[in-house]
Amino acid sequence: MTVYLGNRRVDLMHLGRAHTAGDIVIHVPDENVMFTGDIVEYHSACYCGDGHFADWGETLVAIKSFDVDAIAPGRGDALIGKEMVNDAIENTRDFVESTYRPAARVAARNGTLKEAWDAVRAECDPKFKDYAIYEHCLPFNVARAFDEARGIDTPRIWTAERDLEMWAALQG
């Protein structure tokens, strides 16, 4: 969808699934700026509890293809300059892949959520443990990555009961 704010063109686009199935980015062509919301983060953990790990990378490729000069990410500093924009996109890709890959390996061998948790922590903690909201997001990220790796395409709704079940499995 394109809207005009006076003479300024603003494009709202769905470039693919990532943080959610319905992520929208906003591109302002005359300023070459994009608002990505939680698809791109900067020195902050991505919340992936409702995400689509297998698609996230291609969505980042689509964002990168715009070759923007600045991004307003979901969290963290404004990303100003192509180098900072590209660093943030690649860092987000690394975060998402580093979360999904170990969970998928555990799921492939019919392991448990706790084993996936341990595997993701082993890969992600050295790189991301100091990121904002990392500890808060990690249990939900691992649970979603494990679900997706086991073939659950649509994220399951987080209920109080599911939350308790997840924590019991992670602490077991």
pLDDT digits (tens, 9 = 90+) for 15-60: 999 999 999 999 999 999 999 999 999 999 999 999 999 999 999 9
Asked whether the beta carbons of 127 and 35 are under 8 A apart, the reply is: no
Distances in Å between the alpha carbon of 121 and those of 41, 43, 114, 124, 149? 19, 17, 11, 5, 17
pTM for this prediction: 0.94
**How large is the average pLDDT for residues 116-136?**
97
For the chain, the average pLDDT equals 96
**Higher pLDDT, residue 77 or 103:** 103
